Each structure stands twice: as structure tokens, then as C-alpha cells.
Amino acid sequence: MSNIIIILAIFGWAILTYIAFRLNKTLGNIFVGLIAVALPVYYFTYVPEDYSFQVMGLTLQFGFTSFSSLFAILVVILGALTLLYSIPYMNKKDRLGWFYLNFLFSIGGMLGILMSKDFVSLFIFWEIMTWSSYLIVIFSGKKVNKVGVKYMVYSAIGAYAMLMAIVLINKWSGTTNISHFFETFADYSNGAKILSSLLLLTAFAVKSALMPLHVWAPNAYTNSPMSYTSLFSGALSKMGIYGMALVAIMLYTNTGMKFFGEALAWLGAITAVLATFWAVFQTDIRKLLAYSSIGQLGYIAVGLGIGTELGVMAALFLALLHGLFKGILFMAAGAIEYRTGKTDFSELRGLIWKMPVTFFSALVAIIALAGMPPLSGLISKWLIYEALLSSEHYFLIILIFLSSTAAFLYCFHFLYGVFLGQREDDIEDVKEAPALMLVPMVLMSFGLLALGTFPGLIFKHISSSMSYLGFNDVTWEMSVLTNEWGNKIYLTHLNTMFMVVFAVFFVIITLVARKKTRRVGTKDIANAGEPILAEDNYHFSQDFYKPFWRVISPVMKYRIETFYNSFANGIGEFFQFFRRVYTGNGQTYALYVVIFLTILFIVGATLI
């Protein structure tokens, strides 16, 4: 069976699901569940086969490469889990058929991108992915123009940059085949090299929300239903990373244009720092996670930009990992929204007592995000630092460190603001999220836990996919990390040590304190001797990190968005001026005709 069938099957299934939902909601949900199960099963059992055909005189070619299949794994797994999660999450909403139609279209679009071996089909699927995700961004019907059109416009800028690159590549290489482009790239003139690679980079940078092209992302992530945002941030943005990796490695690192790789790395680092700073000051959990996503994607860009083996390893590992933990976090945000209807820190508190499983998953994800042992986040962080150290990026590493230290701030804010703090009566009716929403989160948490000690499980795939990019296929041990200077860390020892000590003390303190512990509510606290009344709540939710804001506010004043907006307005005003040409007066139009005729005569007499 050829590759393209899987895509067509998904699109076809999307339409069937739409019809099913028109008939009956339960039937529709069954359809969604079926594809969620079928997707991974089909993907991991079928034998890939290349396929190509002619359209409009262009050859479209399909087939996975060892590199793209790495991302396909992420898409398939995360796609299946988010679909499952969607079933209860979206159940109360209307227009479900429309939602799943676009959901499946974007999954199909993503797989299509990864399957494309030529630029035209890449672009087609890229655009299908874009508009289907756009339709989900505006699905809620809120802020459709402010958020939706903005998303579409930035996506279009990216996509059209790609389109321009494609037609130029078609001219210079004579074909739109991707690998042929990489092969002939060395023969391009310098201008052509720079132009084509920068255009492609722009296209991919938009999708992966690299500053200064990130402006659409926070709102788009926030505005779409959380079940989709999991996929959006977790997998869809990785399509940008996929392309960026190809550009950074195949075009920059492998052809000696290191300067551009460095620039990409610096952009990534700046993105990581600024996005993290913004995330720290968000008051909406969804926005916090959105900015955090942008920051994480910045790290990935750093790894790709420096282009050493460890760097790319780190980037790809983080790309997969980010899919998992950001998937969990957005799902957790969705679960909270589903049960409480609130997403603002000022309205949420104390959910740990009501949603312990959600809390556990979110905690695991946050630890992974922060990069702390014993979870897999440490590995991604470690790889990226080692890569930066061994390639002697003195200042880049400081930026990255600043960003990941500042990330602790929002990590705590998220956990504290939502799950901890002073409990209030308004959460008494809140229940734990439905099982079908918890299962994906818990599954992914276990994934993070497993990878924390045994990253070799996925290193094997990453390493073999990196051979496509021209790196050696290095064999990594199951749980030992080695840097370029031969320094190692033994994850089993680290994690076992930590967990054993923890367990020993846990047993001791639990046993010793078993009977003597007095369990009290969160209002029974030391408060200078003054009891807290039932109607008071001392939960700390306003002006979180105010001191930190005072420190960095000089930097945060400048927002690129303001500049873009005034630029867009400027264009609008510019054309307002042209509107005056159309006066609505017939005499003026007649005058134009005469003037045009005169000019034409003059031009004709001189030029022709």
C-alpha cells in the first residue's frame, strides 16, 4: 500500500466523521475513537513505500525519510491521545463534526508534510494544516479577527515565503524535489543560497513561533480548544522545527554557512529568554503555557542553530519531549477549564484536593519542563548545555541558563496558582476530570518518567534519523549520557539514589508521624495569632513576581507587536490615500482616461 493512502484515508475519515456527527453524536464519537486507535496501530504496522505522480507538470513524491518518521511518531502518538482526550472534553460543545473534521485534517496535513519528498506537496499539506488549524483557532467564535486573522496572516507570511522559495528553487534546481535541492544547494550562487535558505527559514520560523515571528502564537494557542492546543503546541509547531532542522543542518552546517546557523541560535536564545519572561507574568494558565511553548521552541532552535551532533540531538530530543510535557500541560489546563470553567489564576486555587491525578500529571510535566531530575527534562537540558559548552558558546549558554532559571518562576506559578494555595468553598463541587481525559495525561507522564531514566529508548531513533542529516549514527547507551569531552552521567545511579533516599525518608517520616499528625485545613495557619474568617481568602494570586517585573520591565517595554500593528495600520492608511483616486465622479474617471491616453502616447512614442 502506498504512503499517500494513509493521508487520503485520514481526510476521508475526517469527512465521514463529520457526516457521522451530523447523524448522531455518539456515532461521531465512536468514529473519533476508532481513528484514534487506528492511527498508531496503522502507522506502526505498515511498511512504507515511496510513491509519486504528476500534477500540472510537476512531480509530487511521497515517502517517509528516517528523519521525518521521527516527527511522524510524535504526530501519531500525540494526535491519537489528543483525539481521545477530545471526546469527553468537547462533548458539551456544538459543531463537533466541524471540529473533528479540521482536527483530522490537520493531523493528515502534518503527516502529509512529513511524507512529502518535494516542495510542492510539502506546501500543499502545509497550507492544509494551516487553514485547518486556523479554523480550529476560531472555533470558539471569540476574538476571531483579532486572533484568528492574525494567526492566518502570520501563517500566510510564512507560507508565502516558502512558496517564493519553492518557485525559486524550482527555477534554480530545475525540480522541486527536496533532496535534490539539498544536493544542488552547494552549486547555488551566494545570493541564491542566502535568499532561498532565509525564505525557507522564515516559513518554518513562523510555525515554530521563533521571535520576531511569534506574535500570533500566544493568542492562537489560548483561543483554540485545549484538546487541540495540546496538538498545536506539541506537534504542529514541530513541523516548523522539522523544516528548520533541515534548513539549519542541510543548508547551513553542512555547507559551511555557519554564520546563519549562529544567527538562528541567537534568535532562538532570545526567543527563549523573552518568551520565558513573558510567561512569568501571565495571569491566564493557557497563556502562560503558550509563552512557555514559545520559549521551549527557542531552545530547540538553539540546538539546531549550533548544529553540532549534541546540539541537534538535544533539539530533537527536546522536540519530542516538549510534545509530551506540553501536551500534558495543555491537557491539564483543559481539564481544569472543563471542570471549573475558569482559566485565570485569580479565580483558581486548591485544586490538588479535587483533581489529584491531574495534579500528578501536571507535576510530572512541570518537572520535566523545568529540567530537573529524575525526569527526562534534565536530559534535554543537559544535552543542550553540553552542546553549547563543547562548541564554546560562552554567552549563548548564559542566555539559555537565564531562560531556564526564569522558567522555574512560571512553573511554580502554574502549580501553585492552580493546584495549591488556600482552598475555598467554590471548588467543593469540582470533580476529577473524566477518565478518558486522564488516561492520555497519565500515559504521557509515564512516558516522561520512563525516558527520564532510559532515554536510550528514543535516542536510538533520534540517532538513526540524524544520519539522514549527515551525522554519524552513534550508538547511545540506554541510560548513560556522554558529552564530547567524555564526561558521563549515569542516570540510573542518579535516579535510583534520589528515589531510594526519598523513599527511605518517606517511610520513616510517614511511620513516625502516622498517628501524631494533625490534619488541618488551609485556613488554619500561622497568621500572627489572628484566625482567618470563613469569608476571607488569603490566597496569593495578584502581582505574582512583582519584584521581578520591576527588575526586567525596562526590557519588556519594547514589544515587536506594537511595531507590526503600526506597520499594518500604515499600509491601511497608505491605501486609504489611493481610495481617493476613486472619487465616484464620472468626470474624474473620464479625465483619467484622457490622462492615461496622453501618457500612453508619450510612453509609446519613446519606448516602443
Partner 1 sequence: MDIWKLLLTGSVTTVLAFVVGMLYMGLRRKITARVQNRVGPPIYQNFLDVMKLWSKKSSINHGFMQHVAPLWMIATSITTLMFIPILNNGSTFFTNLTFEGDLIMLLYLMVVGSLGMALGAGQTGNPNSAIGVTRGLTQMVGFEIPWVMALVALMIQHRTTTVAGLLDVQVQSGTWLMLSSPFAFIAALLAIPGMFRYSPFDIVGAPAELASGPISEFGGKYLGTMMTNGAIFAFVKLTLFVDIFMGGASNLGFLLLKTFALYMFPVLWGLVSPRFRTEQAVRFFWGWPVFFGVLGLIQAAI
Partner 2 sequence: MVADPILYVALPLLTAFLLPIIGKINKELIRIVPGLLFAFLVYNSIALFSKVSATHTPIIVEIAGWAPPIGINLVYSSFTGFIATIISVLALLVWAYSYKFKKLEFDNSLKYFVLLMLVTAGSIGVILTGDLFNQFVFLEIVALSSYPLVAFYRGRNGAEASFKYLLVGGFASLSILLGIVLIYSQLGTLNMADIAAHIDEMPRNIKIVSFTLLFLGFAIEAEMFPLNGWAPDTYSQAPGPIGAVFAGMTAKAGIYALIRMIYTIFDFSGAFEILLIMGVITLVVSEGIALRQENLKRMLAYSSLGQMGLLMIAFGINTKTAVIAGMLILFNHAVIKSLLFLSSSFLVYNSKDKLIKDAYGMGKKLPLTAILFGIGAFAIVGLPPFSGFWGKLYLLMASADANLLGLIALILAVSVIEIVYYFRVVNGVYFKKSKTEIEVHKPRWNASLAMIILAAAIIVVGIYPNIIYDYLVNAADTLLDKASYISHVLPNLASN
- Site residues (vs partner 2, CB under 8 A): 54-57, 120, 123-124, 127-128, 130-131, 138, 141-142, 144-145, 148-149, 152-153, 156-157, 160-161, 163-164, 167-168, 170-171, 195, 571-572, 574-576, 578-579, 581-584, 586-590, 592-597, 600-601, 603-605, 607-608
Q: Which is nearer to partner 1, 236 or 302 (CB)?
A: 302
Min. distance of Cβ 524 from partner 1 in angstroms? 8
DSSP 559: -
Residue 156 near which of partner 1, partner 2, none (CB within 5-8 Å, type-dependent): partner 2
Unique residue bearing C-alpha cell 471542570 = 339
Residue 584 near which of partner 2, partner 1, none (CB within 5-8 Å, type-dependent): partner 2
Residue 505 near which of partner 1, partner 2, none (CB within 5-8 Å, type-dependent): partner 1
Q: Within 10 Å of residue 146's Cβ, how many Cβ atoms?
A: 11
Q: Which is nearer to partner 2, 47 or 581 (CB)?
A: 581
Q: Which is nearer to partner 1, 92 or 519 (CB)?
A: 519
Q: Which is nearer to partner 2, 173 or 403 (CB)?
A: 173
Min. distance of Cβ 230 from partner 1 in angstroms? 24
Residue 597 near which of partner 2, partner 1, none (CB within 5-8 Å, type-dependent): partner 2
Min. distance of Cβ 400 from partner 1 in angstroms? 10
Min. distance of Cβ 531 from partner 1 in angstroms? 13
Task: Quote the cell numbers at residue 508.
Answer: 520513616
Using an 8 Å Cβ cutoff, are 222 and 186 in contact?
no
Residue 426 has, within 13 A of its CA and on its CB side, a CA count of 12
Alpha-carbon span 356 to 479, nearest angstrom? 30
Unique residue bearing C-alpha cell 519584584 = 547
Residue 42 near which of partner 1, partner 2, none (CB within 5-8 Å, type-dependent): none
The three-state DSSP-derived secondary structure of 296-359 is HHHHHHHHHHHCCHHHHHHHHHHHHHHHHHHHHHHHHHHHHHHHHCCCEHHHCCCHHHCCHHHH
Alpha-carbon span 70 to 356, nearest angstrom? 33
Q: How far are the Cα atoms of 14, 175, 223, 445, 556 from residue 411, in angstroms, in the given order?
A: 36, 47, 21, 16, 20
DSSP 65: -
Q: Which is nearer to partner 2, 185 or 266 (CB)?
A: 185
Q: Which is nearer to partner 2, 156 or 489 (CB)?
A: 156
Min. distance of Cβ 391 from partner 1 in angstroms? 10
Min. distance of Cβ 542 from partner 1 in angstroms? 11
Residue 55 near which of partner 1, partner 2, none (CB within 5-8 Å, type-dependent): partner 2
* Nearest CA-CA partner of 493 in 504, 479, 478, 477: 479
Min. distance of Cβ 153 from partner 2 in angstroms? 6
Using an 8 Å Cβ cutoff, are 332 and 365 in contact?
yes
Q: Which is nearer to partner 2, 201 or 363 (CB)?
A: 201
52 has which bridge partners? 61
Cβ-based burial of 246 (10 A; exposed 0-12, middle 13-18, buried ≥19): buried
Q: Which is nearer to partner 1, 124 or 372 (CB)?
A: 372
Output 558-567 pairs: Cβ under 8 A, ≥24 positions apart: 560/211, 560/212, 560/215, 561/215, 564/215
Residue 39 near which of partner 2, partner 1, none (CB within 5-8 Å, type-dependent): none
Min. distance of Cβ 326 from partner 2 in angstroms? 27
Q: Which is nearer to partner 2, 112 or 307 (CB)?
A: 112
Cβ-based burial of 350 (10 A; exposed 0-12, middle 13-18, buried ≥19): buried
Min. distance of Cβ 147 from partner 2 in angstroms? 10
Min. distance of Cβ 313 from partner 1 in angstroms? 15
DSSP 177: B
Residue 339 near which of partner 2, partner 1, none (CB within 5-8 Å, type-dependent): none
Q: Which is nearer to partner 2, 125 or 414 (CB)?
A: 125
Residue 529 near which of partner 1, partner 2, none (CB within 5-8 Å, type-dependent): none
Alpha-carbon span 285 to 265, nearest angstrom? 28
Alpha-carbon span 287 to 226, nearest angstrom? 11
Residue 427 near which of partner 2, partner 1, none (CB within 5-8 Å, type-dependent): none
Min. distance of Cβ 442 from partner 1 in angstroms? 17
Residue 322 near which of partner 2, partner 1, none (CB within 5-8 Å, type-dependent): none
Sequence-separated (6 or more) residues with CB below 8 Å from residue 377: 321, 325, 367, 368, 369, 370, 371, 448, 452
Q: Which is nearer to partner 2, 472 or 585 (CB)?
A: 585
